[in-house]
């Protein structure tokens, strides 16, 4: 993280980062949160929450978005 910051990157301490053009996450379960965020971003939180419930998955944050902070 320090090396990225030194190179001029904006380092955000979040499980999923959405800057509008790119969405990034690291690790296996954070990729599930990534997918659910993608669904929420494009189809709404109701659908994303229903999917998480059907998967018996508890969503974990934080998610940083350039358009809204959740």
Domain boundaries, the chain: 2-65
Predicted confidence (pLDDT) per residue in 55-66, tens digit:
999 998 778 888
**Residue 69 pLDDT level (bands cut at 50, 70, 90):** very low
- The pTM score is 0.69
Pairing of strands 63-65, 23-25: unpaired
Mean pLDDT of the chain: 88
Q: Classify residue 48 as exposed, middle or buried by CB count within 10 Å of its CB (0-12, 13-18, 19+).
A: buried
Predicted confidence (pLDDT) per residue in 7-54, tens digit:
998 888 888 888 888 888 878 888 999 999 999 999 999 999 999 999
pLDDT computed for residue 68 by the predictor: 62
């Amino acid at each position: 993280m320090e090396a990225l910051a030194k190179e001029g990157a904006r380092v955000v301490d979040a499980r999923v980062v959405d800057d509008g053009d790119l969405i990034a996450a690291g690790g296996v379960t954070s990729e599930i949160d990534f997918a659910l965020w993608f669904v929420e971003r494009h189809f709404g939180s109701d659908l994303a929450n229903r999917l998480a419930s059907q998967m018996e998955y508890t969503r974990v944050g934080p998610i940083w978005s350039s358009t809204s902070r959740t």
